[in-house]
Amino acid sequence: MSNLSSLAEIQKKLEYYCVYQDRCHQEVKQKLFELGVNSSDMDLIVVHLIEHNFLNEERFARSFARGKHRIKFWGLKRIKNELNARNISSANIKLGLTEISNEEYHATFETIAERTWNSILERNALKKRKKFCDYLLRKGWESEMIYEKVREFENAR
């Protein structure tokens, strides 16, 4: 990595990598590791990306939370766990979760719960209940919300 032009090329490559999609520090460091960059050059590149606003963990946390909730219909618990797994600070996680309003959160839950309940063709009521609960728990929704919704669906039959 002593060659300055190759360092500039790698820096440019990482700029494009960060522009294409918001990235967290861990993803950028993993990419640099895959490119074979040594740790001192890695630090220089990360500092450059932060200084020029290519890398911003608050922005990453906000877009991650927004996207995973609106596109993949994840609940707050799953989003929080995934951000923790990416070593995002708890302050940035809180800021990211503010992107999801309570009204939007509950509306999304109602929609996904209804769709999931109707899509499970299981005849056995206990198995249907288990499949429903397991699916929504995996998606990171709160268990109280799930069990309340199950009771609502079962009482409606």
Average pLDDT, rounded, for the chain: 93
Asked if residue 13 has pLDDT above 80, the reply is: yes
Asked if residue 50 has pLDDT above 80, the reply is: yes
**Poorest-confidence range of 1-15, 31-45, 62-76?**
1-15
Average pLDDT over residues 18-39: 92
Asked if residue 1 has pLDDT above 50, the reply is: no
Q: Which residue shows structure tokens 């500092």?
A: 47
Alpha helices, DSSP H only, in the chain?
Answer: 4-20, 25-34, 39-51, 57-70, 76-85, 90-97, 102-119, 125-138, 143-156
Residue 5's pLDDT is 55
| DSSP single-letter state for residue 55 | -
Summarize pLDDT for 113-148 with one digit per residue, the tens. Answer: 999 999 999 999 999 999 999 999 999 999 999 999
CA 71 to chain centroid: 10
E strand or H helix that includes residue 154: helix 143-156
Residue 130's pLDDT is 97
Summarize pLDDT for 67-113 with one digit per residue, the tens. Answer: 999 999 999 999 999 999 999 999 999 999 999 999 999 999 999 99
Please give the single-letter amino acid code of residue 56: N
Average pLDDT over residues 22-46: 92
